[in-house]
Structure 1
């Protein structure tokens, strides 16, 4: 990691810490902030209608699945997208029936405290996106940025900063996703891999934010 990249990662990590401290001081966390007092219902999007940044072409929402999910379970997660107007005119490998070209970048799992604890990628049908190649998807990561007051500036800061802190991990997961998709295609040639409901979460890994903070401090030679 070069000095410029390290500084970007360190600044993003500081943004996450600041946001979480702000939540804690208010007796809240990022999950409570996105719920905005609404009753939690599994699979519903929070906030309703998703959060979109028209200028940056970025979008996200939070939700959770039933705990008995066999392929991947978490407390809840954020889905991050780049909207069609910012995908650069790149053609997806597979699209939804209404020709959507939105790109799903990654998912961020959180625990009950609102700490980031996992990263994952999904199959095309999961979020009804256009499925872009790994390299095209990775090229879009730099364009993801959410700004604005809704649901709260600190929430948008947190959501924008996590992909910066875990950029290398997300890139690796996106590449793993394509390898897994191709392997599944070869194993099941009779099925459309992008629509196969048996393949949902394609790649994932656990993360430890406190450990990542330690790594960043050590890289910066901070005690």
Structure 2
């Protein structure tokens, strides 16, 4: 939480409000015997690894933000994770994917979406980590970090499917962890570059040996406490 020391009192106060919004969204579900993950799985039939929940993803037609939940990894304490995206029409005008020199096709035009970050969840529907992935994992077009980082501010889903509280929660996660997500995206590019230099004969974006590019554990409650302490100081 060292980065909090460099924030103004106004910025810290804004972060504290967002953290409280995260808690309220999760609590509103908990009071009804629900949780963030459960609302994405509701009414979707049997749960299968790699399947998207809800089916056909959650998409905001105004912001062009998109996400889905699924499970396929066995990292310690994780039940599954959210994949989040920005579709091309929602990006700032200067954002352009890099040239595809791979043998695998990349989505193009309005379909040239960019993956932003994964939100790792535990069995209780509590966020425990953030991470970025290699291109092949999500089948995205690849944008450089300097184009992806500004998309953090653009991500927002505020309609009622599958649940308004879930959508407000995941949107608030982007505000609350903006600096952490930005660092992970920058680190992602550094890891990709290092991997490409080390394995010149491989197509780095299709290399199954490189799946997770950057990872950070998170704890909403602990960050709220740290923000409050920084404000008190």
TM-score normalised over the length of structure 1: 0.92
Structure 2, unpaired ranges of 5+:
1-6
Number of positions where the alignment pairs a residue of Structure 1 with one of Structure 2: 219
Counterpart pick for 1:44 among 51, 76, 91: 51
CA distance in 2, matches of 1:94, 1:103: 14
Q: CA 1:104 to 1:94, structure 2 compared with 1: closer, same or farther past 3 Å?
A: farther
Instruction: Map Cα deviations across residues 4-44 of structure 1 (whole Å, 9 max, x no partner).
Output: 43233222211110111111101111111110143221111
> What's the offset of the Cα at 1:88?
2.4
CA distance in 1, matches of 2:77, 2:186: 22
SS at match of 1:160: helix
Runs of 4+ in 1 over 4 A off after TM superposition: none
Q: Which residue pairs with 2:117 in the alignment? A: 106
Q: Which residue pairs with 2:218 in the alignment? A: 207
Aligned residues of 1:94 and 1:194 also touching (Cα < 8 A): no
| Pairing 1:19–2:25 present | yes
CA distance in 2, matches of 1:122, 1:97: 16
> What's the offset of the Cα at 1:111?
0.7
Aligned residues of 2:153 and 2:174 also touching (Cα < 8 A): no
Q: Which moved more, 1:5-14 or 1:117-126?
A: 5-14
Q: Which residue pairs with 1:97 in the alignment? A: 106
Q: Which residue pairs with 1:142 in the alignment? A: 153
Aligned residues of 2:85 and 2:116 also touching (Cα < 8 A): yes
TM-score normalised over the length of structure 2: 0.88
Counterpart pick for 2:12 among 6, 12, 20: 6
Q: Which residue pairs with 2:206 in the alignment? A: 195
| Pairing 1:33–2:13 present | no
CA distance in 1, matches of 2:15, 2:87: 24
Q: CA 1:14 to 1:147, structure 2 compared with 1: closer, same or farther past 3 Å?
A: same
Structure 1, unpaired ranges of 5+:
none
| Pairing 1:184–2:195 present | yes
Query: In angstroms, what is the RMSD of aligned CA positions?
Result: 1.8
